[in-house]
Amino acid sequence: MSIPIAVKFWLLVLIPASMALVIQQDQSTLLTACQAIAKAISPASQVFYPPSTPYESDILHWAVSSSASSACSVEPGTAADVGVILRTVASSRTPFAVKGGGHTTNPGFSSTSGVEISMTRFSHVFVNAAARTVNVGAGLTWDQVYTALNHTGVNVVGGRVPAVGVAGVTLGGGYSWKSNQYGLTVDNIEAYELVLPNGTVMTVTDAQEDLWFGLRGGFNNFGIVTTFTFKSHPQTAVWAGVLEVSVEHLDEFNTALAGYAAQADEKAAMIAGYESTANSTAIAALMFYDAPTPPSGLFDGLMAMPTLGGAVQTTTFSEYVSSLSSAVGSGGSRALYSCAPVLRYTPTLLTAIANETAALAQQLGALDPTVTVTTVAEPFQAGLFSHGAPSAYPPDRARALLPTNPYITWTNASLDSVMHDALWGLTERIQAAAIAEGQDVAGAAMYPNYAPYDTPLEMLYGANVPRLRALREKYDPTDVMGLTGGFKL
């Protein structure tokens, strides 16, 4: 793998995550492992082979480029069986993957040629009104959770669009419609049920100081989580919707968006995307206010824009999230995500972002006419990281980082490395534009749930890396979790 220039620019220590997985096993060895699992698990769990329907759904990913054909899939139905599966793959050193919602765009992070562990049977939502918590299975997607909570009057702090998984979002950080009020998803957890790499099932709360720290951002490095217990918050009707604006109004849009981004009403949230193909750009703002009507003034600049479509209205939280599938697309192409953290969005920075996004789409569209290049601005507020205790991510809570999200979708598999390098280039140019206007973001932490697979660990976890490595060594001395992909400690 070639190291893109943009990475060299930031590089302190390079640990390409995908190279951690240099385990090769032939198909018959893998099938033997599948059979060993099938024999060892209880009737609550099941192993599937291609081309069965459960197998196909177990290996399905949002992006084709992060899907793989595994030798088999297994759907554990109990935490004890997750332990049995981990002990089985550990003893035969069989490569495996753990999948929640399958939304990572990083190849090998939740896909494998070995054993795909699909968490789909962990699908309960239990509300504990007295404790003000909601217990959620690790196989659910966020829209399923919100639908289950639709009439309960409570909600949790989770993902913003349909189909994205509870597990990955929660284990990597979690930027939510409610994060200005309550922080990241990792700041709204009461407990985890965790199956350690040696197969032991345990409950992790803030009493287990080290695992509590590591699990809040450390993904699958410490084992497999089966359930999350989230803090709940009251949920009323919301005012929310999508605004689509014509590119001829780009400057006005950027001025209005920067105006919105400068205010500090914690109930407000927004993400705004510039999506370009070779010869077109679409602009959309996904707007949210956590009450039936917003205060006057807050969204006026954007609401006054001539729009192409979309509607912003009083609705339920679950209706709003479910409605966003068309705004974010349903996946199905090749894709890669990245992150350019910034401190604030000015009209100048937004203009540079839109410009760079469109220019790259034009360039890449000549190679593959199906290319889209999108950059999403995420104008969170200054207090974003003030709602939680130290965690693996973010490594520094002294100031908020707004996780600007550039990503590319394409079709031609021969162009994977071209797209990867181009995405790092776009990431670097966005960050350079922020630095050029005085933002101190050189070396700022990238959000692990958006970062490309070859992002150095220091760019995700900063000064936390040595502590996380020691923790991994303590809880996984035989490197069982090294048999699966991800940002490996």
Ligand X SMILES: *[C@@H]1O[C@H](CO)[C@@H](O)[C@H](O)[C@H]1NC(C)=O
Ligand Y SMILES: Cc1cc2nc3c(=O)[nH]c(=O)nc-3n(C[C@H](O)[C@H](O)[C@H](O)COP(=O)(O)OP(=O)(O)OC[C@H]3O[C@@H](n4cnc5c(N)ncnc54)[C@H](O)[C@@H]3O)c2cc1C
Q: Is 156 in the site for ligand Y (CB under 6 A)?
A: no
The only residue of 190, 244, 319, 416 in contact with ligand X, by rule CB under 6 A: 319
Sign, CA dihedral 228-231-234-235, equals: negative
**Considering only 172-180, 224-232, 333-341, 348-356, which stretch makes contact with ligand X by CB under 6 A?**
348-356
Orientation of helix 27-40 relative to helix 79-92, angle to 10°: 150
Q: How far is the CB of 404 from ligand Y (least distance, A)?
A: 13
Contact 286, 320 (CB under 8 A): no
Tell me which residues in 117-156 interact with ligand X (CB under 6 A).
147, 150
Q: Is 138 in the site for ligand Y (CB under 6 A)?
A: yes
Q: Which two tokens stand for residue 310?
A: 């979309």
Task: State whether residue 132 is helix, strand or coil.
Answer: coil
Contact 417, 361 (CB under 8 A): no
Beta-carbon contacts of 211 under 8 Å, excluding residues fewer than 6 positions away, are 194, 204, 222, 471, 475
- Residue holding tokens 């090749």? 334
What would the DSSP string read from start to end of 343-361?
A: S---HHHHHHHHHHHHHHH
Beta bridge partners of 127: 134
171 binds, among ligand Y, ligand X, none (CB under 5 to 8 A by kind): ligand Y
Q: Is 92 in the site for ligand X (CB under 6 A)?
A: no
Q: How far is the CB of 16 from ligand X (least distance, A)?
A: 23
- DSSP, res 58: H
Q: Is 317 in the site for ligand Y (CB under 6 A)?
A: no
| Residue 191 or 460 having the CB closest to ligand X | 191
188 binds, among ligand X, ligand Y, none (CB under 5 to 8 A by kind): none
Binding mask 229-268 for ligand X (x = CB under 6 A): ----------------------------------------
318 binds, among ligand X, ligand Y, none (CB under 5 to 8 A by kind): ligand X
285 binds, among ligand X, ligand Y, none (CB under 5 to 8 A by kind): none
Residue closest to ligand Y when measured from CB atoms: 168
Q: How far is the CB of 316 from ligand X (least distance, A)?
A: 5
Contact 338, 426 (CB under 8 A): yes
The only residue of 57, 67, 255, 412 in contact with ligand X, by rule CB under 6 A: 412
Report the C-alpha gap between 485 and 96 in whole angstroms.
Answer: 8
- Strand blocks (E) in 6-145: 46-48, 72-75, 96-99, 115-118, 125-128, 133-137
The only residue of 28, 130, 414, 438 in contact with ligand X, by rule CB under 6 A: 414
The only residue of 4, 83, 95, 100 in contact with ligand Y, by rule CB under 6 A: 100
The number of CA neighbours under 13 Å toward the Cβ of 425 is 15
414 binds, among ligand X, ligand Y, none (CB under 5 to 8 A by kind): ligand X
Task: State whether residue 403 is helix, strand or coil.
Answer: strand
Report the C-alpha gap between 406 and 16 in whole angstroms.
Answer: 20
- DSSP, res 66: G
Count of residues touching ligand Y (by CB under 6 A) = 32
The only residue of 48, 55, 62, 320 in contact with ligand Y, by rule CB under 6 A: 62
Q: How far is the CB of 321 from ligand X (least distance, A)?
A: 8
Report the C-alpha gap between 342 and 379 in whole angstroms.
Answer: 9
**Considering only 25-33, 127-135, 313-321, 464-472, which stretch makes contact with ligand X by CB under 6 A?**
313-321
Q: Which of 113, 120, 219, 233 is nearest to 170 (CA)?
A: 219
Task: State whether residue 386 is helix, strand or coil.
Answer: helix
Q: Is 427 in the site for ligand X (CB under 6 A)?
A: no
Q: How far is the CB of 281 from ligand X (least distance, A)?
A: 12
The only residue of 10, 109, 182, 317 in contact with ligand Y, by rule CB under 6 A: 109
| Residue 99 or 216 having the CB closest to ligand Y | 99
| Residue 157 or 196 having the CB closest to ligand X | 196
Count of CB atoms situated within 10 Å of the CB of 173:
26
Strand 96-99 relative to strand 115-118: parallel, antiparallel, unpaired?
parallel
Tell me which residues in 361-400 interact with ligand X (CB under 6 A).
365, 367, 369
Binding mask 174-193 for ligand Y (x = CB under 6 A): xx------------------
Q: How many residues does the chain have?
A: 489
Sign, CA dihedral 88-91-92-93, equals: positive
Task: State whether residue 432 is helix, strand or coil.
Answer: helix
Q: Which of 455, 331, 477 is nearest to 14 (CA)?
A: 455
| Residue 119 or 444 having the CB closest to ligand Y | 119
Query: What is the contact surface with ligand Y in residues (CB under 6 A)?
Result: 62, 98-104, 109-110, 119, 138, 159-161, 164-165, 167-169, 171-175, 219-220, 224-225, 328, 449, 486
Q: Which residues bind ligand X (CB under 6 A)?
A: 147, 150, 196, 198, 200, 278-279, 316, 318-319, 322, 351-352, 355, 365, 367, 369, 412, 414-415, 475
